[in-house]
Amino acid sequence: MKTFRIGGVHPPENKLSEKQAIEVLPLPEVATIPLSQHLGVPAVPVVKKGDSVKTGQLIAKGEAFISANIHSSVTGTVTKIDDVVDTSGYRKKAIIIKVEEDQWEEGIDTSDNIIKECNLSPEEIVEKVNEKGIVGMGGATFPSHVKLQVPKGKKADFLLINGVECEPCLTSDHRLMLEKAEQMMVGISIQMRALRVEEAIIGIENNKPDAIKHLRKLAENYKGVSVEPLKIKYPQGAEKQLIKALVNREVPSGKLPIEVGCVVHNVGTSLAVYEAVQKNKPLIDRVVTVTGKDLKKPSNFMVRIGTPALQLIDAAGGLPPNTGKVVNGGPMMGKALNDLESPIAKGTSGIIVFSDDESERVPMQNCIRCAKCISVCPMGLEPFFLGLISDKQRYEECEGNHIMDCMECGSCQYVCPSGRPLLDQVRIGKLNVGKMIRERG
C-alpha cells in the first residue's frame, strides 16, 4: 500500500464519532461571523449596523488577491461589527447577527437535486468559486480560487483529492465521503475542468474501508477519477506528503505543489465547489466533528459558520465536569480554545474535549539524543537541534537548517520521551526567521 517515504507517526485513532451520521444543528441565537476566516488579508465588511441580511448574502468582501468573500450564514439583523475573541486567541473584527427565521437569498438552490451537467469555462468556474468565498476546508483555509488558477508557464498533471483525514479523532471528512459522495464527485469533475487536468486521484487512508468502497463504485462513472487506499500514517494529509504518497513526486523546499504539476484539494472543498458552481450556494456551513472520551454523544454536525463552539458541545451532551482543554481542530495540529463562545469558522474541522488528565503535558526533561524526533520528522529535519538553536536565538542558523520547511505537524513533540516542547521552540524559530526574511525584502 502506498504512503510517503520518511517519518510519520501513528497515534491512537480514537475515531469515536465514525458511525454517527451528520446531523443538522439548529440555528444559533446569535451568529458571530469573523472577518478573518482564511489565510491572507481579512475581508472588508459591506454591511453596517442595523442592516437586515438574508442567508447567503454577501456581508464582507475579500479585496486582495489572497482573500475570500464572506457571506451571512443566517437571516437576521446586524447588531454590531465588533472585536470578538476568535480561534486565534486574540480579539478580531467580526460581524454579529441576531438570528431570525431562515430566509435564503434569491438564486440559491436549496433542493436536494444533484445537478451533474456543468458547461462553464474554467475562468467562469474560478470566478464562481471566488465569488462564493470558498476556502480550503482541511484547516489551512487557503482561498480555493487561487489554487484553481494554474500560473502562467506551469501545467497541472494531477488533481489530488485529500480524503486522508490522518488526524486522530476527526471524522467529518469520513462522513462527508459516505453521505455526500455524489455531490463531491461532481465537484471533483468541476475542479478538473477548471484546472484542465485529465486525472484526479482521491487518497483515502485504509482505516475508512467503507468510504473507499463507496467512492470506488461512484468513480466508475467519472472518467479519469480513481481512488487510492493509503497506509495509515500521520501526517499523510499534509500537501507535500500526500503528493509523495500518491504520485511519488517531491515538492522542492520552499516551492508550491504546482511546481511538480499537482494541485491538492480537500474533499470538503470539492463539495463546497459543487455547491457554489451548481447550486449558487456560498460557503456558509460545514461539517464539524465534536468528540471526546467523556462526551456523552460524540457527533458530526452540519453547522452554520458563526455558531458558538459551546452550542456544539451542548448538542453533543454538554461539557463534562472534568474538562481540561477544548481544542479547535485535530488533536495533533489543533489549538486550544480560549473562549468557548468562539465561533465556528470556515476552517474548523473539529471540536475536541479533553479531560484534565489527557490535557496535562508531561514534565520537561533533558534531551537524551535518542533521535526519535529525527526519525519521525516527515520533512527530514532535526527537530531537537532546531529547538535548541531557536531557544538560543540563533535564528540565522535556524534558517540554514531549513526551519521554514517545518509544517508544524507535531510528530516530534508527540514521540519525545523527555516531553520537550520541540514544536513550541520551532514555532518561535519560524516566527523570527519569517520576520528576518520579510525585513530582508
Binding site for other proteins (CB under 8 A): 83, 85, 88-91, 335, 338, 359-361, 421, 424-425, 427-428, 431
For residues 314 and 356, which CB has a smaller minimum distance to other proteins in the complex? 356
Assign 280 to helix, strand or coil.
coil
d(CA 235, CA 231): 11
Q: What is the 3-state secondary structure (H, E, C) of 90-147?
A: CEEEEEEEEECCCCECCCCCCCCCCCCCCCCCHHHHHHHHHHCCCECCCCCCCEHHHH
To other proteins, the closest distance from the beta carbon of 197 in angstroms equals 38
Rank residues 91 and 196 by Cβ distance to other proteins and give the closer one. 91
Rounded Cα gap, residues 54 and 308, in angstroms: 20
Rounded to whole angstroms, the Cα distance separating 120 from 100 reads: 35
Give which of 394, 388, 424 is closest to 406, Cα–Cα: 424
* Other C-beta atoms lying within 10 Å of the C-beta of residue 117: 6
User: Is the separation of the CB atoms in 312 and 301 below 8 Å?
Assistant: yes
Give the nearest distance from C-beta 85 to other proteins in angstroms: 7
CA dihedral 310, 313, 318, 322 (to 10 degrees): -90
C-alpha grid cell for residue 321? 465536569
Task: Compute the least distance from the CB of residue 247 to other proteins, in Å.
Answer: 35
Rank residues 102 and 424 by Cβ distance to other proteins and give the closer one: 424
- 123 vs 360, beta carbon nearer other proteins: 360
Given the complex with other proteins, which of 361 and 440 has the nearer CB atom? 361
Tell the smallest beta-carbon distance from residue 106 to other proteins (Å). Answer: 38
The CB-of-168 to other proteins minimum distance in angstroms stands at 20
Cβ distance to other proteins smaller for residue 216 or 427? 427
User: Whose grid coordinates read 502506498?
Assistant: 2
CB of 334 to other proteins, least distance (A): 12
